[in-house]
């Protein structure tokens, strides 16, 4: 069997907000070049997990390493420079800036003087609808186009691990299908993907592995195809 290098390793992560525990002893591994989906009900701790990896929320205990480096020792901007990039829930595009400027903003951590034109071309190849929108204000785009900008902006940082929080939220089925096709393509390009989704069945059907978070704990994990077949997971978390 092919040996995979483990890229992201989370060991016993614990997070509290003002004494209320949001993550309780979470262990997780995201192997290089895979797409790992994290699903679970509202308030399960999914967003907290991504924000903790990004260094935006402090851990009370546990360890997170990416490529052998302890992320707990790095500030949020250094974590991005280390290749861990977070596309947040709600897109957070800068509505009063053009699409092009939003994309350039994603590359702020790249070395000064880098020629970004090939990277812009590469993200536009993934999201052709943005080609004719480059000079338009990002805030004037549809929700689906804004999500494309958010993912494209994340890719401009040249991630080795791209984390996405609910990229399908509020989008039409056809746009969701396109977003998931792009995630497949991103993984094919060798970028590791950690995906948080309410759209659990869709996420698992595109993922290699899945984790179910519930009340801040890992309630189940395994290959995505096994989770999709698991009666308990289907009843409790997929609404099937």
Interface residues with ligand ATP (CB under 6 A) are: 17, 22, 40, 42-48, 198
Q: Cβ of residue 18: shortest distance to ligand ATP, in angstroms?
A: 6
Q: Cβ of residue 46: shortest distance to ligand ATP, in angstroms?
A: 4
Residue 19 vs 173, nearer CB to ligand ATP: 19
Residue 54 vs 102, nearer CB to ligand ATP: 54
Residue 47 vs 168, nearer CB to ligand ATP: 47
Q: Cβ of residue 134: shortest distance to ligand ATP, in angstroms?
A: 31
Residue 90 vs 128, nearer CB to ligand ATP: 90
Single out the residue of 108, 113, 30 nearest to residue 76, CA to CA: 108
Q: Cβ of residue 48: shortest distance to ligand ATP, in angstroms?
A: 3
Nearest-angstrom CA–CA distance, 219 and 153: 32
Q: Cβ of residue 47: shortest distance to ligand ATP, in angstroms?
A: 3
Q: Cβ of residue 213: shortest distance to ligand ATP, in angstroms?
A: 6
What is the DSSP track for the chain? -PPPPEEEEEEEEEEEETTEEEEEEEEEEEETT-EEEEE-STTSSHHHHHHHHTTSS--SEEEEEETTEEGGGS-HHHHHHTTEEEE-TT----TTSBHHHHHHHHTTTSPTT---HHHHHHHHHH-GGGGGGTTSBGGGS-HHHHHHHHHHHHHTT--SEEEEE-TTTT--HHHHHHHHHHHHHHHHTT-EEEEE-S-HHHHHHH-SEEEEEETTEEEEEEEHHHHHH-HHHHHHHS--
């Amino acid at each position: 069997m092919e040996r995979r290098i483990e890229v992201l390793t989370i060991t016993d992560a614990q997070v509290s907000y003002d004494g209320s525990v949001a993550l309780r002893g979470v262990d997780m591994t995201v192997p290089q070049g895979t797409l790992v989906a994290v699903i679970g009900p509202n308030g399960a701790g999914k967003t907290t997990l991504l924000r903790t990896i990004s260094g935006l929320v402090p851990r009370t205990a546990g360890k997170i390493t990416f490529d052998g480096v302890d992320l707990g020792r790095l500030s949020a901007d250094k974590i991005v420079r280390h290749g861990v990039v977070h596309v947040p829930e709600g897109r957070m595009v800068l509505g009063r800036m053009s699409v092009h400027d939003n994309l350039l903003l994603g590359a702020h951590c790249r070395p000064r003087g880098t020629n970004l034109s090939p990277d812009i071309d590469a993200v536009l190849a993934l999201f052709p609808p943005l080609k004719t929108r480059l000079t338009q204000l990002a805030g004037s785009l549809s929700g689906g186009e804004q999500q494309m900008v958010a993912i494209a902006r994340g890719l401009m940082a040249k991630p080795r691990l791209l984390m996405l929080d609910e990229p399908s939220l509020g989008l039409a089925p056809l746009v969701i299908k396109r977003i998931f096709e792009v995630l497949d393509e991103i993984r094919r390009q060798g970028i590791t993907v950690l995906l948080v989704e309410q759209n659990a069945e869709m996420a698992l059907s595109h993922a290699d592995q899945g984790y179910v978070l519930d009340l801040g704990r890992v309630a189940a994990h395994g290959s995505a195809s096994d989770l999709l077949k698991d009666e308990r997971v289907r009843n409790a978390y997929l609404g099937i």
